[in-house]
Chains A and B, each alone.
Chain A
Amino acid sequence: MPRALVLNRSDNVATLIDSGKAGDACALQGEASGTIKLLSDIPFGHKVCVKETAAGADVLKYGQLVGKASKAIKPGEHVHVHNVESARGRGDQTRS
């Protein structure tokens, strides 16, 4: 069974410390326990959503803001560049 670490109770993501396959039950460790069913394949070191996250909502890891959800993310979904936006160094969003 793949394992994932939750670093802070407020986090909505956990970091996989094994690779996981769609349908796997993933064991949560650290600041959470229980299992979560993976909705897609997730590589080693990548993140899985552990709490329902609305589009535009904060993505929290270490109890800190690491980005904003660019679309709604369900528990068990892979969380990465396809559904999280950074708020920093965004010269592309500034207007002259």
Chain B
Amino acid sequence: MSATFLGYPRENGSIGVRNWVGVISIMDNCNPVTRAICAAVEGTLPITTLFVRGQYGRDLEITYNALAGMGRNPNIASVLLVGLEEMTTEEVAKRIRPTGKRIEVINLQPDGTINAVANGTRKAMRLAIQASGVRRTSCPVSALTIGVECGGSDTTSGLSCNPAIGRMADRLVDDDGTVIISETSEFFGAEHLFAARATDEKVRKEFVDKVVGFEQDAMKMGLDIRGTNPTPDNIRGGLTTIEEKALGAMAKAGTRPLVGVLDYGEAPKRKGMHFMATPAPAVESMTALAAGGCQMIFFGTGVGNPIGNMVSPTVKVSGNVNTLRSMPENIDYDVSELIEKGSKVTDVGDRLYVYALEVASGTRTSSEVLDQRETGISRFGPTI
């Protein structure tokens, strides 16, 4: 019998591992109202953005899709959109509507922020009470999409947390679930190994084009990326080159075939292992994973990176004994036995998979409890 977890069933058949009312800013100038409403209503989650205004073309489409994608995420029971004016707010609303979930709207024009906070608080309160009526029920793990991420990496990452996450990813894929690995630049030097896992030539070429294209874009700056990636803390942790970092980072994708390549924030259309093209910084990358529908993110860290995603509970996994000692409040799962005792990756990864289903069923993560959460949609071009 395949594994199960306790999740929240949604209108469109997807399954949430959390049950929040998402309060979503349509643009930067709405964020203070969004935060005020969330401060007033328990059970809401502020989902903010720094752009939209001034964006155009592909960038604007990415931002609208990412905002709507977080609203579509199965962890969100219903949404309150906080906009400046009707037209842009509708752009996000219409991208969430196909899920069938309840959508409420407030706009700051023409009644001002005090009325917007008051009206938004009333609407959010009703949504929160309604959402609290949904009950967890037994669901197959095939309903899960897990993002795999790393940050604050060091040389322990490729030896411990990332291989353990990779084993968990293999187990989920074997149970007909979905996994997404992101962070395009963290394939520089390892892309040949991952490309060889593509199920066909089309997928292989899409993946390689994303990696090579991103590297060429970066090189147009005329600079050595070392110091930015690997970062200063990566280098302090012993990582010497992006190639070394990439070979360790790729371990969190396990060993199963690569079935699909996704754009920033795009949702997978099938089960199995996917690659999503995103910048490497954790906040931007995890925002894209949440927008793409990941209900959870497993995050390997070496020297320690505490940030979690707002919508997608983020599980911090580390095998660095020094970090586990110095910042224990920021690590959810200790895999140091891989280095200290020579434990088998399969055994540790299998236990991590059991833990993943506990988190899916409601066990909270450190970044949720400490509210170390942030949203940041990548911007690829200028605003005008």
Chain A residues at the B interface, C-beta cutoff of 8 Å:
5, 7, 15-17, 29, 43-47, 59, 61-62, 64-67, 79-81, 84-94, 96
B229, A64: Cβ atoms closer than 8 Å: no
**Residue from A43, A64, A79, A80 in contact with B247 in the complex, judged by beta carbons closer than 8 Å:** A64
Given contacts A84-B241, A88-B215, contact A47 B224 (CB under 8 A): no
Residues of A within 8 A of B354 (CB): none
The CA of A86 and the CA of B247, in the complex, are separated in Å by 13
The CA of A91 and the CA of B223, in the complex, are separated in Å by 4
Interface of B is mostly: loop
Residues of B within 8 A of A85 (CB): 241
Smallest Cβ-Cβ distance to B242: which chain A residue: A88
Interface of A is mostly: mixed
A86, B243: Cβ atoms closer than 8 Å: yes
- B366: min CB distance to chain A, Å: 23
A91, B241: Cβ atoms closer than 8 Å: no
B219, A94: Cβ atoms closer than 8 Å: yes
Q: How does the 8 Å CB contact mask read for B319-362 relative to A, with 1 for contact and 0 for none? A: 01010000000000000000110100000000000000000000
A45, B237: Cβ atoms closer than 8 Å: yes
Chain B residues at the A interface, C-beta cutoff of 8 Å:
154-156, 158-159, 185, 188-190, 193, 215, 218-226, 229, 235, 237-238, 240-244, 247-248, 302, 320, 322, 339-340, 342
- A63: min CB distance to chain B, Å: 9
Query: Which of A7, A29, A47, A86 counts the most chain B CB atoms within 10 A?
Result: A86
B215, A61: Cβ atoms closer than 8 Å: no
Smallest Cβ-Cβ distance to A68: which chain B residue: B241
Query: Which of A7, A90, A96 counts the most chain B CB atoms within 10 A?
Result: A90
The CA of A70 and the CA of B238, in the complex, are separated in Å by 17
**Residue from A45, A64, A79 in contact with B154 in the complex, judged by beta carbons closer than 8 Å:** A45
Residues of A within 8 A of B322 (CB): 44
Given contacts A17-B339, A62-B247, contact A92 B158 (CB under 8 A): no
Query: Which of A5, A59, A64, A87 counts the most chain B CB atoms within 10 A?
Result: A64
B224, A89: Cβ atoms closer than 8 Å: yes
Residues of A within 8 A of B225 (CB): 88-91
Residues of B within 8 A of A62 (CB): 158, 247-248
Residues of B within 8 A of A7 (CB): 159
The CA of A5 and the CA of B160, in the complex, are separated in Å by 12
Q: Give the 6 A-B CB pairs with smallest separation, nearest first.
A: A89-B225, A91-B219, A45-B238, A86-B241, A66-B244, A46-B238
Given contacts A45-B154, A61-B247, contact A91 B222 (CB under 8 A): yes
The CA of A44 and the CA of B237, in the complex, are separated in Å by 8
The CA of A7 and the CA of B302, in the complex, are separated in Å by 18
**Residue from A17, A45, A67, A96 in contact with B241 in the complex, judged by beta carbons closer than 8 Å:** A67
Query: What are 24 sample pairs from A and B whose C-beta atoms fall under 8 A apart?
Result: A43-B238, A46-B238, A61-B244, A62-B158, A62-B247, A64-B190, A64-B193, A64-B247, A66-B244, A66-B247, A67-B243, A80-B235, A81-B235, A86-B241, A88-B215, A88-B241, A88-B242, A88-B243, A89-B185, A89-B188, A89-B225, A89-B242, A91-B218, A93-B224
